[in-house]
Amino acid sequence: MRKQGWLWTEEFIWHKKNCYPGKWPNRFRDAWERLLQFNKNKKFNMYQEAVMVPMGDWTKTRLKNLSETDKTRDESKVGSGFGKNISNWLERDKAYPTNVLHLATECNNKNHSAAFPEDLPEWFIKLFTQVGDTVMDPFMGSGTTNIVANRMRRNSIGIEVVEDYYKLVKSQISPVQLFLFAEKAKYEQS
């Protein structure tokens, strides 16, 4: 990916609140999946306000006993440029979320073995796009991302190599651009 010009930006974890029991005797259940964010540029659109969460109970404990360091910008000791001023959060009702998303898995598999809940792409679509933007899912599968993007009034492009999934999604949503590798020439001619 680096050779193609992609920059690793962030790592997210999807914690599956209701993960399935493991099927092998020598392994635990898969309760999380890694989600990686890459960008082509260091400057990119990110709408953090769209995914902010209530401050929570820690405002009653952690923010009550601020140290002197917490009240000023505490620069990173390793020179990363990151710093914090905890007192900036004293009067706020909402905070930026963590990079761990606690979401249940999809109970009905939508005729696909790896379907994920609509809340997962919805969160990222809110975070990185606005109405009218385009969302692309290069591994469309059952079309969850495209369906959510459509509902959220975003344009979407889905790419899929399995013709049955392509047909399934095409019959469910419109307008959406779907692309099946096997039909590349036919798509380009139309």
What is the rounded CA–CA span in Å between residue 120 and residue 139? Answer: 15
DSSP, collapsed to helix, strand or coil, labels residue 74 as strand
- CB-based contact 117:102 (threshold 8 Å): no
pLDDT in tens, 19-77: 877 777 777 888 899 999 999 999 999 999 999 999 877 777 777 777 777 777 666 67
Beta bridge pairs of residue 179: 159
- Half-sphere exposure at residue 123, Cβ-oriented, CA atoms within 13 angstroms: 20
Report the first-to-last Cα separation within the chain, whole angstroms.
31
CATH number of 7-52+96-189: 3.40.50.150
pLDDT on residue 175: 57
CA 75 to chain centre: 29
Domain extents in the chain: 7-52+96-189, 53-95
